[in-house]
């Protein structure tokens, strides 16, 4: 039997140890382009280490089935990784503290379709967790030479129960 994880709403305060929440609510707004455009300013910054560059990609995540078993986590030591949904579909964000070079107990956050995240370099996180239907995300992360992916499997799995869809 796997350990059941609690899902909490994604907030800036709770997510701060892992990175930034990207959302318009509460952001600094600047009017640009002759006052015709609102710029939600500097929500986060891409971090790039080594000789890499910031790349902009689109990922299309397939929906996960529940109950879902969390068996592994990953991290990127050479740069941050940002995800922002291209639709207003909810999705899950799973992170863990480092426990002597391995991921600790996962923490699960429910993100609205108007929230993205920027994981800091070396933060343990689960791969993209779309819900309900395929969902596309703008992703900003490091591209270049060097090993920028580390994966770790848990000795015992964790479980996320079915999610209510709103």
Q: At a CB cut-off of 8 Å and minimum separation 6, what does 122 contact?
A: 75, 76, 77, 98
Determine the Cα–Cα distance for residues 109 and 96; give it in Å rounded to an integer: 11
Q: Could you read off the pLDDT of 15-56 as tens digits, one per residue?
A: 999 999 999 999 999 999 999 999 999 999 999 998 999 999
Determine the Cα–Cα distance for residues 26 and 91; give it in Å rounded to an integer: 20
How many residues would you count in the chain? 166
Q: Could you read off the pLDDT of 66-86 as tens digits, one per residue?
A: 999 999 999 999 999 999 999
User: What topology is assigned to 3-160 in CATH?
Assistant: Jelly Rolls (2.60.120)
Mean pLDDT in residue range 133-137: 97
pLDDT at 133: 94
pLDDT at 166: 46
Question: Is it the case that residue 94 has pLDDT exceeding 70?
Answer: yes
Query: Domains of the chain: which residue ranges?
Result: 3-160
Question: What pTM was estimated for this model as a whole?
Answer: 0.93
pLDDT at 164: 67
pLDDT at 165: 53
Q: Could you read off the pLDDT of 141-156 as tens digits, one per residue?
A: 999 999 999 999 999 9
pLDDT at 39: 95
Determine the Cα–Cα distance for residues 9 and 19; give it in Å rounded to an integer: 15
């Amino acid at each position: 039997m796997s350990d059941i994880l609690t899902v909490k709403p994604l907030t800036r305060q709770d997510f701060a140890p892992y990175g930034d929440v990207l959302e318009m609510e509460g952001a600094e707004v600047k009017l640009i382009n002759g006052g015709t455009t609102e710029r939600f300013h500097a929500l986060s910054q891409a971090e790039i280490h080594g000789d890499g560059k910031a790349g902009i990609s689109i990922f299309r995540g397939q929906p996960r089935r529940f109950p879902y078993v969390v068996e592994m986590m990953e991290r990127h030591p050479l740069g941050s990784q940002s995800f922002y949904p291209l639709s207003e579909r909810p999705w899950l964000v799973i992170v863990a503290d480092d426990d002597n070079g391995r991921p600790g107990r996962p923490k699960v956050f429910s993100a609205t379709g108007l929230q993205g995240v920027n994981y800091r370099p070396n933060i343990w996180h689960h791969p993209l967790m779309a819900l309900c239907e395929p969902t596309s995300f703008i992703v900003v992360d490091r591209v270049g030479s060097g090993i920028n992916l580390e994966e770790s499997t848990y000795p015992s799995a964790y479980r996320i129960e079915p999610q209510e869809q709103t």
